[in-house]
Amino acid sequence: MQTHLRGRDMITTQEWTKDEIDTVLDVAFELKRQRALGISHASLRDKVLAMLFFFTSTRTRASFEAGIVQLGGHGAFIDSTTTQISHGDTAKEMGEIYGRYFDGIAIRQCDWGVGNQYIRDVAAASRVPVLNMQCDHFHPFQILADLMTIIEKKGDPRGLTINVSYAYAASYQKPMSVPISLILLMTRFGMNVRLTHPPEFNLMPQYVEQAKENARKARGSFEILDDFDAGFKDADIVYPKAWGCMLTTSDLQESAEISKKYTSWITDEQRMALAKPDAIYMHCLPADRNIEVTDGVIDGPQSVVYDEAENRLHVQKAVMALTM
Ligand code: CP
């Protein structure tokens, strides 16, 4: 267990050692247990977390706000449109100034080509930890919650096969932060990671290379497929979700046209039957129901989506308690 995490940023799990991530999971399980037993764990009394949002949220806002209060502190929700950011406050100024008011700064900034750099610029100027609530590259707390859920449902993740797959969605060009973060973290835990997507939906090559290296070091495996059905075959865990083809085109109309070629990439009962009989279905939510996934699957016995959503609370509390 690592005990020197005070002051650390969480921007991507890739910047934390495996021992440090094991510590987060250990603390998250302990805090989950204590909450179930009604045991108070107010280790962050009088501490305040800034929660700066440039993008909407159901789970992330609610779970960070509930989590910091359960730890004895307070969460200040800040909608970026109500600040002076659009009138000139820079990332450096936000880091310098909020770092003097608050004990931690959590940020969601998903704009393509902007979000990750913005969060890093705030972190460089901040004297307190900066927590990435999702950017254009990474969604670390979602993926920590996913790993916690896999361990709860399946035990030791080593040797399990996870299919991280594109799925069609009509709503909007979703960030690629979830699949990138999944291939980066699950390869470090010795899993057999399949990345399945049509050719236009490739992920950033530097992270694909990191995932390959992670898999080599952890004695797992990493492969890329382009056949939706093949991705499901004999998998222990299936995680099909939509993301945008931002590396292929920046034109929204063109990307919508490309996506329409893949309307058949929907997770239904027939696809689930290709996976192992005890396979679990995962999705970070929100899902485009009956477009990305049928009601029968997402509401069915193999779906663990609500446990995943709950575990956001526990892993976020663990990281706040360790770093703030
Ligand atoms: N999964 C997730 O991050 O949900 P929200 O976008 O609702 O926060």
**pLDDT by residue for the chain (324 residues), tens digit each?**
888 999 999 999 999 999 999 999 999 999 999 999 999 999 999 999 999 999 999 999 999 999 999 999 999 999 999 999 999 999 999 999 999 999 999 999 999 999 999 999 999 999 999 999 999 999 999 999 999 999 999 999 999 999 999 999 987 889 999 999 999 999 999 999 999 999 999 999 999 999 999 999 999 999 999 999 999 999 999 999 999 999 999 998 999 999 999 999 999 999 999 999 999 999 999 999 999 999 999 999 999 999 999 999 999 999 999 999
* Closest residue CA from atom 7 of ligand 1: 58
Q: Best substitution site from 79, 284, 298, 313 to test ligand 1's pocket, by max atoms within 8 Å of Cβ?
A: 284
Domain(s) of CATH 3.40.50.1370: residues in the chain:
13-139+311-323, 142-308
Cα of 217 vs centre of ligand 1, distance in Å, is 31
Cα of 284 vs centre of ligand 1, distance in Å, is 7
Q: Give the 3-state secondary structure percentages of the chain, helix then strand then coil, rounded to 5.
A: 45, 15, 40
Sign of CA dihedral 250, 52, 119, 323: negative
Cα of 309 vs centre of ligand 1, distance in Å, is 9
The token duo for 166 is 């594109």
What's 237's DSSP letter?
E
pTM of the predicted model, to two decimals? Answer: 0.98
pLDDT in the model for residue 172: 80
Please compute, for residue 213, the number of CA atoms within 13 A of its CA located in the half-sphere on the CB side. Answer: 7
* Closest residue CA from atom 6 of ligand 1: 57
The token duo for 274 is 């290709």
Q: Domain 13-139+311-323 belongs to what architecture? A: 3-Layer(aba) Sandwich (3.40)
At 123 the three-state DSSP class reads: helix
Listed residue (316, 308, 262, 317) closest to 285, CA to CA: 308
C-alpha torsion angle, residues 212, 216, 217, 221 (rounded to 10) = 90
Please give all residues whose beta carbon lies within 6 A of any atom in ligand 1, as ranges: 57-60, 134, 142, 284-285
At 1 the three-state DSSP class reads: coil
Tokens 């608050």 belong to 102
The token duo for 282 is 């995962």
Cα of 33 vs centre of ligand 1, distance in Å, is 24
Number of Cβ atoms within 10 Å of the Cβ of 151: 16
Cα of 319 vs centre of ligand 1, distance in Å, is 18
- In angstroms, the first-to-last Cα distance of the chain is 17
- Establish whether the linkage from the previous residue to 301 is cis, with ω within 30° of 0: no
pLDDT in the model for residue 170: 82
Tokens 């999705």 belong to 283
Q: Which long-range contacts (CB under 8 A, 24 or more apart) does 202-207 make?
A: 202/247, 202/248, 203/176, 203/179, 203/247, 204/137, 204/176, 204/180, 204/247, 207/137, 207/180, 207/183
User: CA-to-CA distance for 1 and 154, rounded, in angstroms?
Assistant: 22
* Closest residue CA from atom 4 of ligand 1: 59
The residues, any chain, with a CB within 8 Å of residue 209's CB and separated by 6 or more, are none
Cα of 6 vs centre of ligand 1, distance in Å, is 26
Listed residue (269, 265, 256) closest to 301, CA to CA: 269
Beta bridge partners of 221: 192
* Closest residue CA from atom 1 of ligand 1: 284
User: CA-to-CA distance for 138 and 109, rounded, in angstroms?
Assistant: 10
197: left (phi over 0), alpha (psi -120 to 50) or beta: beta
- Establish whether the linkage from the previous residue to 205 is cis, with ω within 30° of 0: no
Atom of ligand 1 nearest to the CA of 285: 1
Rounded to 5 degrees, φ, ψ at 109 are -140, 100
* Closest residue CA from atom 3 of ligand 1: 60
Atom of ligand 1 nearest to the CA of 60: 8
Q: Domain 142-308 belongs to what architecture? A: 3-Layer(aba) Sandwich (3.40)
Listed residue (196, 248, 185) closest to 223, CA to CA: 196
Cα 233 to Cα 279, 296, 322: the distances in Å are 10, 19, 39
Listed residue (184, 187, 177) closest to 142, CA to CA: 177
Q: Best substitution site from 56, 107, 131, 134 to test ligand 1's pocket, by max atoms within 8 Å of Cβ?
A: 134
